[in-house]
Amino acid sequence: MVASRIDGVSVRGIVGCVPEGRETVEDIARRFGGDMAHKIAAATGIEERRIVAAGQCTSDLAEAAARRLLDGLGWEPGSIDLLVLVTQTHDYTLPGTASLLHRRLGLRKGAAVLDVTHGCSGFVYGLWTVAGLLKAAGRRALLLVGDTTSRLVDPEDRAVAPLFGDGAAATALELDGAAAPIAFDLGSDGAGAPYLAADGGAMRHPERPARLFMDGTQVFAFTLREVPGSVRAALECAGWTTEMVDHLVLHQANAQMIRHLGQKLGMPADRTVVALREIGNTSSASIPLALVGELADRLAAGPRRLLLSGFGVGWSWGSAALAVGPLAVCETVILPGRKCPAESASPASPTP
């Protein structure tokens, strides 16, 4: 699509949530050998990943983040007009996970909810979706993003098992007539669909569980081909130069890739955020988790000019240039482990 701008919408706060469960490079070494495990960690920059406990779902992570965000902002749940959830790992085939969170968060009857199935580009796509819908109707919105990708990973597949972690984030957005425009550039190329996919499960192959497949060579080639142009398009749409950008925050897939893209875009290393060492690739949540993990103090003091770009499964990519801060809430919370799902994790039983 042609780069576009949406004005009059501000980010008020961001809260990330990761599970307390961890898998470290030492755990990976027990499966694949020490030399291989440390070679993967050195190449990717990932030394441990956060993993949900048995019975925990994407909604549990998103709910914990959203509750802390609403509390920190002092927003009543009834003041939320719109909730958008971006995830590839829904709790159920149906109902949609956004509907479950509507109930669990106590949002008012009549608030609009929407599920968006997107992966690593999902945070930027979510910002675009929420900003556009708020401009059409409403005043306050929650953007929730997150995935429990560990559920899709074959633990014996060394191409993906050491990389993907679980996490979620909640972002509060509000209409604000004084807010500077957010510049977006979004794109897709369905020819990339076979190279990053979770086949099995659901309708196509109900006899076997879904497992994640990734062709890393194709992913890297796609990233270098499409992402720099998208980032530059968002930058140009905003009327910024690279010198005006405080922080470049890319999808946190691979530390070497992030640094390479930063150099290609002419962004100094000290303004290119790398924040995946202790959480891994968290898909749609990777950008907001990087913001709260690495830039919390600066965004609280704000404002900061951010250049964001997410890219991956689909192929899909999205970039945004926006000013954020000062934020009233910018932090990470930990979801404790548990052996059984909480009552709230399941939809209400049907009335006989």
Other CB atoms closer than 10 Å to residue 154's CB: what's the count? 13
Q: 90, 251, 254, 330: which one is catalytic?
A: 251
Residue 255 CA to residue 41 CA, distance in Å, equals 10
Q: 120, 237, 247, 254: which one is catalytic?
A: 120
Q: Is 341 helix (H, G, I), strand (E, B) or coil?
A: coil
Q: Which residues contact 322 (CB under 8 A, 6 or more apart)?
A: 11, 127, 180, 182, 183, 238, 305, 306, 308
Whether residue 237 lies in the annotated active site: no
Q: 102, 247, 254, 281: which one is catalytic?
A: 281
Whether residue 120 lies in the annotated active site: yes
Helix axes 122-136, 286-294, angle to 10 degrees: 90
Residue 139, amino acid:
R
Tokens matching residue 16:
């990330």
Whether residue 340 lies in the annotated active site: no
Nearest 5°: CA angle at 256, between 245 and 155?
125
The burial of 202, by beta-carbon neighbours within 10 Å (0-12 exposed, 13-18 middle, 19 or more buried), is given as exposed
Where are the extended beta strands (E) located within 87-181? 112-116, 140-147, 167-175
N-to-C CA span, the chain: 49
> Which residues belong to the active site?
120, 251, 281
